Structure 1
Amino acid sequence: MGALSIQASGAARAAIEQHVPVLVEDKVASRLAAKDHTLWGREAEQEAEIRLGWVDAAGVSRPLVDEILRLRDELRAEGVSRIVLAGMGGSSLAPEVISNTAGVELTVLDSTDPQQVRAALAERLAETALVVSSKSGSTVETDSQRRIFEQAFTEAGLDAASRIIVVTDPGSPMDASAREAGYRAVFNADPNVGGRYSALTAFGLVPTGLAGVDIETLLDDAEEAAEILADDDPDNIALALGAVLGGTDPLRDKIVLLDEASGIVGFADWAEQLIAESTGKLGTGVLPVVVGESAPEASFDAPDVLVIRLVSAEAEVDLGGNEAAVSGTLGSQLLLWEAATAVAGRLLGINPFDQPDVEAAKKAARGLLDAQPKTPAPLAVDHAVEIRANGDWLGGAETVEGAVRALLATLDANGYVSVQAYLDRFGQAELENLRPELATAARRPVTFGWGPRFLHSTGQFHKGGPAVGVYLQITADAAEDLAIPERPFTFGELIAAQAAGDAQVLADHGRPVLRLHLRDREAGTAQLLQAVSALSGGKR
């Protein structure tokens, strides 16, 4: 199983010692393995009863393997060597981790940014098959991505239906329409698994298996882990990790996820959605803070921050004051963190399977798409950047540096900064350098999310969790917009509405939102990086 293990110190160790004996006594592990929907209280029972299919997903998904591999061989025989995945949230995050860890090419399209969509269309289209993944079958981003690829295949003289594979819940709108359209294959996933818990279902396995990942070994590791995680044992790692996530006292609700050569590429990005969307509701929750090589938060020693280090099984770990370290193979860790998040939900007193606030931003975006209101004039323009903000906290700032400084001044002592970039996450990856610079300047945790994908992830925590966040939203027009076939709006209009809609909902929650619009992507990015570097005392 790859030496699945956990070590803990300080507040993390205290949480384990306090809660694990009670969790064992209450038989939480065995009840979870038996899909006991009463574990999270009466109000959660109805939802939990139809959301526990992930517990034995590794075994249930086993029959899919031969079907996936047979289709992969057929596609390869036809010259298809590139798989593109159109999906959002849980439909894309797990496949990206699985394929990147295996070193297998999988193009993940989880954006409505015209530049990013155009780049996905431009590469080796004749060798491409598209996997369209959506539980509901009605996700606007995924539907738009499918439409543009179907058009591109047809215009290139390719049989579009033979190049499109669908993963969806049985009976969803896309299930029926895909079969009617004669698409190459339709895989139905277990409807009793929520999107963020779907890594070991068809949503995780179909795109990665078609791309060339050894999905059988992935399931082997998860099944082996399942046997251990079902034991009501004081050494059960899922109980310990659940206690670390949701049981510190007082609650350390900013969890810094620091990857230290774990060998699992991008695991923290997947865990971020799982934890934030599962726990961030009813004014409580746990906010994962995904950091890169530079992690100022790890040294803050703040009372609301706890560090979890993702390490390899062979690593010699020297824990700091309030830390935990976790290791294991990818398959075993996927199941471990799902189980631990469910345990954390029990300790926090929330339902870890609903997402009551995700729909708010979607509804606001739909309203803006229908109304097509004129964009309000900026409060100020600083060279290549337009500055907008809600409320009166900006204090007349007319420069990017001044506006960001004013935003940071609104931070509570236990607050966090959320950077939200509605841009091409591959073409403008350097924007992620903002995260450690802002953390240094603010001396508070900073998260970074690419829009609109974070709306299916940490977006739930932003609206449903503790109201202590401040938000920096970055947008830009594309050099060339892209029409969506048979839709009255373009990709550029869609992503603009998604950004504006989320900003509106956050403002309605009384939170400060600084909106910076780059008139020129390259010049505006450089200007913003320089301004934030100046705030942090760095030089650029």
Structure 2
Amino acid sequence: MKALHLTAGPLWHDFSATFEGKLGPGGLSGAAFAALAEPAAASLEGLRRKRENGELPLLSLPSRIDDLELAETLADDIRRRAADVLILGIGGSSLGGATICRLAEKGAAFSPNAPRLHFLDNIDPATFTAIYQRVDFAKTVVIAISKSGGTAETLCQTLLLHDAYVEAGLDPARHFIAITEPGARPLRKFAEKTGCPCLDHDPDIGGRYSGLTLNGLLPAMIVGLDARAIRRGAAAVTAAALEANRPEESAPAVGAMINVGLLRERGVTQSVLMPYSDRLDRIGDWYTQLWAESLGKGGNGTTPIGALGAVDQHSALQLFLDGPRDKLVTIVQSDVANTGGRVNGSATELMGEGLAYLEGRTMGDLLDAEQRATAETLIANGRPTRIIRTAKVDEESVGALMMHFFLETMVAADLFGVDAFDQPAVEQGKVLARRYLAEMGG
């Protein structure tokens, strides 16, 4: 079956341990997989058509650089004058940027001269009070992001910070940047009233699909990450996925077919994403929103779970291995062997003969052994396991991963027969919250 191993840009996919041929009775049957081929092919054809006619700008976004040129100038200016940057936004307005920027915070791309980023994606008053005490407003830039321009949480944050800047005698026009859709939007009106820059959010790219827009890439550029490489990784995945002759040759389509097929045939109701890299420690949060909010409609969908190796080997892995057989686990691996510090010959002298296995080994050797052992143990226990491997965790591979899951989610939505881009149930709570606020004010 060609679907067992696929390469797309910097990513290599091994789906073999999700099928019953390798996994046994807990895996997906060839018949159940084949039954999804026709609707998956129709989904890919629909995506190709939408890319060609411009109906879905996300699919052509990876090949764009015009928006990056303007943002690069803005990022350079911010980097020169700011010690801290506060990114205001919730859900998709924040998670994409927070995920990407972990490359700089926890990786080789770290620059000690770059501003500190603070993703303020919640409205806990204690967090805001703490921020007031940590930053010097005179050296702090605020980026407020809301696709609709009317997100209550982001507007509340923006207004409170505006007042704090005014009280400090600082001009908001120099310290605030807004990102929102064109038109009559509260956040755009704020930008007009204060004179601060306002960048356009594409109305046809939903918030949870906006990580590769300036929502995510402007913060990335501020800390010195290569936005063009991020887009390049996304472009490679898009080309491989949409130019495939059959869905069995498109990694996102295969991923969607396996998720839906395992749910229907084996009762696999949960999808775990477990990368073995601290630089990907926020991708689980990002994936959770994307998968849950896109697919959880009309009784459809599976429950996304974010995990992190090797940390969750000491917690959630016990459940994945020996709990209910209701999980598909995706392990993201990279080439970490022979990296990091090396344990010298003092291990056994200091800690006993039982530590001989660590002598001469690097920290990366240990992480590599554990990422491979976890996958093999899951498979040995009959748990559906997909492996995604990349040579290194960098801008190109993160862009590729994000684009892969965008496409996988879209195809899965078509297989479920739901709209990947709306969230009708969530809107009910927003309306009720605004009513409660109105009642508080009499």
TM-score (norm 1): 0.62
CA pair 25-114 structure 1, distance change in 2 beyond 3 A: closer
Which has the bigger relative contact order, CA under 8 A and spacing at least 6?
2
1:163–1:183: 8 Å Cα contact kept in structure 2?
A: no
1:28–1:232: 8 Å Cα contact kept in structure 2?
A: no
In structure 2, the gaps of 5 or more residues are 1-8, 21-26, 111-115, 337-367, 391-396
CA pair 10-68 structure 1, distance change in 2 beyond 3 A: closer
Alignment partners' CA distance in 2, 1:26 and 1:365 = 41
Tell me whether 269-278 or 98-107 shows the greater mean CA deviation. 98-107
Q: Which residue of 2 aligns with 1:53?
A: 57
Aligned-residue offset at 1:290: 2.0
Q: Which residue of 2 aligns with 1:462?
A: none
Deviations 1:482-506 (A, max 9, x none): xxxxxx69xxxxxxxxxxxxxxxxx
Aligned-residue offset at 1:134: 0.3
CA pair 357-334 structure 1, distance change in 2 beyond 3 A: same
Deviations 1:78-136 (A, max 9, x none): x2132110001000001000111232642100111110111223222222101100011
Tell me whether 89-98 or 256-265 shows the greater mean CA deviation. 256-265
Aligned-residue offset at 1:11: 5.2
Q: Which residue of 2 aligns with 1:186?
A: 198
Alignment partners' CA distance in 1, 2:404 and 2:66 = 22
Q: How do residues 147-162 of structure 1 correspond to structure 2 at under 5 angstroms?
A: 147-162=159-174
Alignment partners' CA distance in 1, 2:422 and 2:282 = 24
Q: Which residue of 2 aligns with 1:7?
A: 15
**1:276 and 2:292 matched:** yes
Identical-pair percentage: 27
SS in 1 for 2:198: strand
Alignment partners' CA distance in 1, 2:319 and 2:48 = 35
1:51–1:353: 8 Å Cα contact kept in structure 2?
A: no
2:287–2:306: 8 Å Cα contact kept in structure 1?
A: no
Alignment partners' CA distance in 1, 2:37 and 2:253 = 10
2:173–2:197: 8 Å Cα contact kept in structure 1?
A: no
Q: Which residue of 2 aligns with 1:110?
A: 121
Aligned-residue offset at 1:308: 1.9
Aligned-residue offset at 1:226: 1.4
Q: Which has the higher helix share?
A: 2
**1:245 and 2:259 matched:** yes
In structure 1, the gaps of 5 or more residues are 38-48, 373-487, 490-540
Q: Which residue of 1 aligns with 2:176?
A: 164
AA matched with 1:238: P
Alignment partners' CA distance in 1, 2:304 and 2:208 = 14
Q: Which residue of 1 aligns with 2:348?
A: none
CA pair 304-167 structure 1, distance change in 2 beyond 3 A: same
Q: Which residue of 2 aligns with 1:173?
A: 185
Deviations 1:132-164 (A, max 9, x none): 000110111000110111112222222112111
Aligned-residue offset at 1:19: 3.4
SS in 1 for 2:249: coil
Deviations 1:143-197 (A, max 9, x none): 0110111112222222112111111111151464144224432111221111111
2:188–2:198: 8 Å Cα contact kept in structure 1?
A: no
Deviations 1:363-392 (A, max 9, x none): 2222222224xxxxxxxxxxxxxxxxxxxx
CA pair 111-50 structure 1, distance change in 2 beyond 3 A: farther
Aligned-residue offset at 1:245: 2.4
SS in 1 for 2:419: coil
Alignment partners' CA distance in 2, 1:225 and 1:205 = 18
CA pair 120-34 structure 1, distance change in 2 beyond 3 A: farther
Aligned-residue offset at 1:255: 1.4
AA matched with 1:305: K
1:165–1:184: 8 Å Cα contact kept in structure 2?
A: yes
Aligned counterpart for 1:236 among listed residues 250, 262, 267: 250
1:169–1:175: 8 Å Cα contact kept in structure 2?
A: no
**1:129 and 2:124 matched:** no
Q: Which residue of 1 aligns with 2:345?
A: none
Alignment partners' CA distance in 1, 2:40 and 2:297 = 27
2:33–2:258: 8 Å Cα contact kept in structure 1?
A: no
SS in 2 for 1:35: helix
SS in 2 for 1:191: coil
**1:93 and 2:106 matched:** no
**1:205 and 2:221 matched:** no
Q: Which residue of 2 aligns with 1:360?
A: 428
Q: Which residue of 2 aligns with 1:349?
A: 417
Q: Which residue of 2 aligns with 1:401?
A: none
CA pair 64-10 structure 1, distance change in 2 beyond 3 A: closer
CA pair 244-95 structure 1, distance change in 2 beyond 3 A: same
SS in 2 for 1:68: helix
AA matched with 1:7: F
Aligned-residue offset at 1:75: 2.6
Aligned counterpart for 2:231 among listed residues 212, 219, 230: 219
Aligned-residue offset at 1:201: 1.3
CA pair 240-25 structure 1, distance change in 2 beyond 3 A: closer
Alignment partners' CA distance in 2, 1:204 and 1:127 = 22
